[in-house]
A and B are shown apart, each in its own frame.
Chain A
Amino acid sequence: MTSRRQRYYQIKPGRKHVKTAIVRLVMLTLGHAFQTAYRIDPEVKKEVDSWPPTFHVVLEVEPDGPRMTLIKRNGALQYLGEKELYNADVVIVMKSIEFMFRMTMGMMSMPRIVAENRQYMKGDLVLAGSIIRCMNRVQTMMIPVVTGLYIKKVPPLSLRMIKNRIIFWTCGVWGLVK
């Protein structure tokens, strides 16, 4: 005879290990890309320099990561890995790993993620626009050809952008450009 517990069984949330691992890898790459872009892309540098002297930005996936933590301090933008901060100035929170995965795979653009309310922001929303512009530049640097799947308006291809892509995919991706 089956017990009530077996009959009315529980459904546990489980984990999406593969998607989480892919997102974690992409976030690591994105963190390094931000770090690199600050050094080699004048547009990104200009945006980041307009932020307060010490400034923390976190991109995280609910409920418990992965996470990408960036800090602007001492005239540099540093990637701090998955460090958890309780006093971050701006936190961009993706509501589930599924949609972060879709975004990282180019199946959903950032504007679509915003339009479908798959993310929310905590903190100083005034600087969110600047962060998103940086994100657009960084994604353009990281992703050739299919950039349009990720952002609203793709900047025209330039020699500088090609050079930046080469620097990023040879050195920056390993975190060597700081």
Chain B
Amino acid sequence: MIPRYFEYYNSVRVVAGKHALGRLPEELLRLGVSRPILITDKGVVNAGLIDIVKEHIEGSGVTIGATYDDTPVDSSIHAVNAVADIYRETGCDSIIAVGGGSVIDTAKGVNIVLSENTDDLMKFRGNNRVRAVMKPFAVIPTTGGTGSEVTTAAVISNPDENIKMQFTTPLMLPDFTILDPAMTRTMPPGITAATGMDALTHAIESYMSIQRNPVSDEFAFTAIRLIMENLPVAVSDGANEDARLAIANAAMIAGVAFSNAMVGVVHAVAHAVGGVCHVPHGIANAIILPHGMEFNLPKVRDAVAGMLLPLAGPDVYASTPKKRRAEKAIETVREFAKELNRLSGLPLCLEDAGVRREQLDRVARVAINDGASHFNPIEIEYKDAIGILVRAYGA
């Protein structure tokens, strides 16, 4: 399917593979910087992952000018301002984010504050508000799911006003990202499964989006195939570096797909489930995904049917009658989630994830205002959102 118009952009240099971290100093020096600030969180430090980064810069001429490890679970404007102050005081010249989505989003916010030389991040809320040339920026992800290392968006909360601010601009893209399986090896099975399902959701939703295009479709297909083949292995055998690397790559590839095609109803509802009920994003996505695919079926049946190929492989695809492929694709996603449930205890319904039935109304009201809903092929109204939530509640 060639759309009559599309845009595609991604400028991030990807360095991926075993011992890829060894390239960190060289990549920084290539950008003309040698004194980065390292932004991370306590979980990453306690897992010993910063020590791995330190090992790779020893004797390289690169000095970590400062290490900020207080990033909160939800990136906040206070953390952004604190890091920016430290950056200025310590004379740093670039930014490295080592962590998951929250750390990476915080780093993106810091880059806006520093590059725009402002102390008011609020001014840059929305799409394409940033105009300044950004500071050199590198990302080393420690989870295989968010894809934030290649996306143009960040969500940062403002606890004083109790709001989450969204920022999107291609200028926020990192200069490079390093995907090294050593950085995800210590991730427990439950988090591996949830973040992997997050990546699968990115790929599947980008393939159903109104902004999908031939380039994002190819990225989505590859990501789906890699996840289906490797996620169960990465969950059951965390030390398997091949599987870890495949999932890190899949998350990045899915990130490229959805940063160009955007996501839809699954993310709209999952964001709301996370915001109202504090369910981790990957788990919320995993639960809502098959219901979101079903919801979109009337408008994107062919696309869902096409996804059976990377989801189940060529044999199943060929042996399934054409008119049954869409349902089979959804069924495959359900079976995959059940397999992950057996391996890691991944919740399969909202009730198991700790959501209370009386919260569903509020979740539905928040979901219909989520930005992701604009890119869904079908308009999402309150009754649609509540329908999805009720089906997902005790599924």
Contact = CB atoms under 8 A, between A and B. Distances in A.
Contacts of A129: 368-371, 373-374
Interface in A95-135: 111-112, 114-117, 120-130, 132-133
Nearest to A130: B369
Contacts of A128: 369, 371, 374
Given A116-B5, A117-B7, A120-B128, A125 B378 contact: no
B368 A125 contact: no
Contacts of B374: 111, 114, 128-129, 132
Nearest to A132: B374
A120 B168 CA distance: 10
Interface in B1-42: 5-7
What is the size category of the interface that chain B forms with chain A?
Answer: 20 to 34
A136 B373 CA distance: 14
A129 B375 CA distance: 11
Contacts of A122: 125-127, 129
B210 to A, nearest CB: 4
A125 B210 contact: no
Contacts of A126: 163-164, 166, 369, 371
A17 interface: no
Given A128-B374, A152-B379, A120 B126 contact: yes
Contacts of A130: 369
Given A117-B7, A152-B378, A153-B378, A125 B371 contact: yes
B296 to A, nearest CB: 12
B177 interface: no
B81 interface: no
Nearest to B212: A115
A162 B276 CA distance: 38
A112 B378 CA distance: 12
A152 B166 CA distance: 24
A24 to B, nearest CB: 24
Contact of A123 (B7, B126, B369, B371): B126
A34 to B, nearest CB: 19
Contacts of B377: 152
B211 interface: yes
Residue of B5, B163, B375, B379 ringed by the most chain A CB atoms within 10 A: B379
Interface string B94-134: 00000000000000000000000000000001111100000
What is the size category of the interface that chain A forms with chain B?
Answer: 20 to 34
A125 B374 CA distance: 11
Nearest to B166: A125
A112 B6 CA distance: 11
Contacts of B129: 122
A126 B125 CA distance: 11
A120 B379 CA distance: 19
A132 B381 CA distance: 12
A116 B5 CA distance: 7
Contacts of B164: 126
A136 B374 CA distance: 12
Interface in B355-395: 368-371, 373-375, 377-379, 381
Interface string B151-163: 0000000000001
Interface string A66-84: 0000000000000000000
Contacts of A115: 209-211, 375
B274 to A, nearest CB: 14
Contact of B375 (A114, A120, A124, A133): A114
A172 B379 CA distance: 27
Contacts of A153: 378-379, 381
A82 B126 CA distance: 22
Contacts of A152: 377-379
A163 B47 CA distance: 65
Nearest to B169: A120
A59 B166 CA distance: 19
Nearest to A152: B379
B228 to A, nearest CB: 28
Contacts of B163: 124, 126
B369 A127 contact: yes
A123 to B, nearest CB: 5
B125 A124 contact: yes
B120 to A, nearest CB: 13
| 4 interchain residue pairs of minimum CB distance | A120-B127, A153-B379, A129-B369, A122-B126
23 contacts: A91-B126, A112-B210, A114-B210, A114-B211, A114-B374, A114-B375, A115-B210, A115-B211, A116-B6, A120-B127, A120-B128, A121-B126, A121-B127, A122-B125, A122-B129, A124-B125, A125-B126, A126-B163, A127-B369, A129-B368, A129-B371, A133-B368, A136-B379
Interface of A: 91, 111-112, 114-117, 120-130, 132-133, 136, 151-153
Interface of B: 5-7, 125-129, 163-164, 166, 209-211, 368-371, 373-375, 377-379, 381
